[in-house]
Structure 1
Amino acid sequence: MTITGFARRRVTVDGGVTLNVAVGGSGSPVVLLHGFPQTHLMWRHVAADLAADHTVICPDLRGYGASDKPADTDGRTYSKRAMAADVVALARALGHDHFALAGHDRGALVAVRAGLDHPAAVTHLAALDVLPTLDMWDVLRGASAAVGFHLYLMAQPPGLPEAMISASADAFFGHFLDLWTKDPDAIPADVRAAYLEACREAVPSIVADYRATATVDVEHDTADREAGNRLRMPVTVLQQDWGAALGYDAAALWRAWAPDLAHHTVSCGHFMAEESPAEVVKALRALLTR
């Protein structure tokens, strides 16, 4: 499945990795990065709206969907640095040296890394329902950390996580699609089936992506924090109010990374681009005017 009215392309980026991409519309470019456990299809409503006056580029991240899934031979294949470099190379291959970038969940972590590593390329940045990597690990503690059990499972050394998840892939990935959605109708049966099929075929790469967030991504983000590196572009963050339950001020955590910040709390579930696309579109359009 792909986004209705969008052209499906395969674009090879650095290292010979080929990404599956949906491209539509015309005008200034906006790149949309999906989260877990989804594909580029999660942007179908938002992308269709933005395509009225923007070139909208929706890739499957490396390791997800119909994009290539290279073996993780060194623990860095699925670093957010490598995945962010994919995004910049993809935009350039499509003729865009500068672009706005929005990411949800895992895609938001890639977007943040792209903004830190490639500030001249990323003009505006949006992050949907995630915390920066270091802050995420800092706030997960005690019994409340149970909400992030999958983060700890997939952080384990190769072997056990892949075997456990593969043995019951649909139940594992379906758990998050069900638990994190306030409006079940937002993810219809055919879309849910497409997500499960894509995840079922990508267990090693998905685990490698999460494992990187507990290892090499921490290394990269720590270096940026110590060096005082910040996101230089206008940033918009949309989040559920997890801070009230977990005891942190999400806006303050984000502002330490993004001085030019607009932070909004939403009332829908985690999959906000599917549950509340009009709210997401409104926020992205406001960001693009800053």
Structure 2
Amino acid sequence: MAPHPTEPRTERPAEHLAERQAERRTGPLNTIDGFAYQRVRVADGVALNVAVAGSGSPIVLLHGFPQTHLMWRHVAAELATDHTVICPDLRGYGASDKPAEAGPDTYAKRTMAADVVALARALGHERFALAGHDRGALVAFRAGLDHPSAVTHLACLDVLPTLDMWDVLHGTTATVGFHLYLMAQPPGFPEEFIAAAPDLFFGHFLDLWSSGPTSMPADVRAAYLASCRAAVPSIVADYRASAGIDVTHDETDRTAGNQLRMPVTVLQQDWGAALGFDARARWRAWAPDLTHTTVTCGHFMAEESPATVAAALRGLLAR
């Protein structure tokens, strides 16, 4: 299926989403304007911080690394005009609970996906659309495989499924993913290493993966750094799971021929060509009903190009 995102609606020009949100901000950014906040228990000892607004068919938006739900602020406000928009902080991130890593399951994407399904149900939604960026996209991918009766539509932004990610990283090109190998190490070393200079570590990715120095306002960057600074062990545990139990789960599904049954949209930078693989083909193996689009912006596309992301999600929801 050829990419065909819908055009932004003229009454709310999506190209000005970021500007409108910035104009309404009067202080440090901690919440999304117009969204109501609550904590929702999703598992024993785990409650998620979640922002909700709008009415209509529900869509859950999952953030990536090193961010929080705030990364969706522009897109969420646009979609909330005619959808119920649900923006949680993932387990281990932001203001959500950060359980200690008791074993490989604690931060397995299967566990985090179950959190999302439990969250939606607690808010009254048995079925919902789901979009994720980066780490959130891996959780969304797992939710689509594990809970196909709950996830009606799926969008993944700038990521490959875990198993494919490890397949394509090799040689000197793997240096772009040095953090994946660092945080895959046994408990202790990576946590202490990162905690020694958290702003330097997490700030490196905020700077490196942005399209330019003006793409992320200073207050947003500060909010992300503060959140990550307080969540080093859980963030490392999330990544450690992706080098272990998440691979096992993906291998089981690949061997069984399991695929995503719902319409899927993927937005990616063209880093597949740079690293020598066909990103669309990788995704097609998992998602027969796929719209795959290459975008021209940095990694943080929901913040850098919210009009593109909002239009793509509207196109997905119309399928």
User: Is the TM value for this pair above 0.5?
Assistant: yes
Q: Secondary structure at the match of 2:132?
A: strand
Q: CA RMSD in A?
A: 0.5
Aligned-residue offset at 1:74: 1.1
Aligned-residue offset at 1:16: 2.8
Which of 224, 227, 248 aligns to 2:277? It is 248
Could you tell me how far apart the structure 2 residues matched to 1:139 and 1:266 are? 20
Given residue 189 of structure 1, which amino acid in structure 2 is its aligned partner?
Answer: A
Which of 236, 242, 251 aligns to 1:207? It is 236
Aligned-residue offset at 1:185: 2.0
What residue is the counterpart of 1:15 in the other structure? 44
Which of 103, 122, 140 aligns to 2:132? It is 103
Superposed counterparts of 1:257-268, under 5 Å? 257-268=286-297
Q: Secondary structure at the match of 1:5?
A: coil
Unaligned runs of 5+ in 1: none
Could you tell me how far apart the structure 2 residues matched to 1:8 and 1:173 are? 26
Superposed counterparts of 1:183-262, under 5 Å? 183-262=212-291
Which of 7, 11, 32 aligns to 1:3? It is 32
TM-score normalised by L of structure 1: 0.99
Greater relative contact order (Cα < 8 A, sep 6+):
2
State the identity as a percent.
Answer: 78
Superposed counterparts of 1:82-231, under 5 Å? 82-231=111-260
Could you tell me how far apart the structure 2 residues matched to 1:166 and 1:8 are? 29
The answer on whether the counterparts of 2:32 and 2:51 sit within 8 Å (CA) in structure 1 is yes
Q: Does 1:81 align with 2:113?
A: no
Could you tell me how far apart the structure 2 residues matched to 1:6 and 1:136 are? 34
Could you tell me how far apart the structure 2 residues matched to 1:217 and 1:243 are? 21
The answer on whether the counterparts of 2:45 and 2:99 sit within 8 Å (CA) in structure 1 is no
Q: Secondary structure at the match of 1:253?
A: helix
The answer on whether the counterparts of 1:183 and 1:275 sit within 8 Å (CA) in structure 2 is no
What residue is the counterpart of 2:318 in the other structure? 289
1:33-88 C-alpha deviation (Å, 9 max, x unpaired): 00000000000000000000000000000000000000011121000000000000
The answer on whether the counterparts of 2:93 and 2:227 sit within 8 Å (CA) in structure 1 is yes
Aligned-residue offset at 1:241: 0.3
Aligned-residue offset at 1:272: 0.0
Given residue 158 of structure 1, which amino acid in structure 2 is its aligned partner?
Answer: P
Given residue 88 of structure 1, which amino acid in structure 2 is its aligned partner?
Answer: V
Q: Does 1:71 align with 2:109?
A: no
Q: Does 1:279 align with 2:314?
A: no
Unaligned runs of 5+ in 2: 1-29
Q: Secondary structure at the match of 2:44?
A: helix
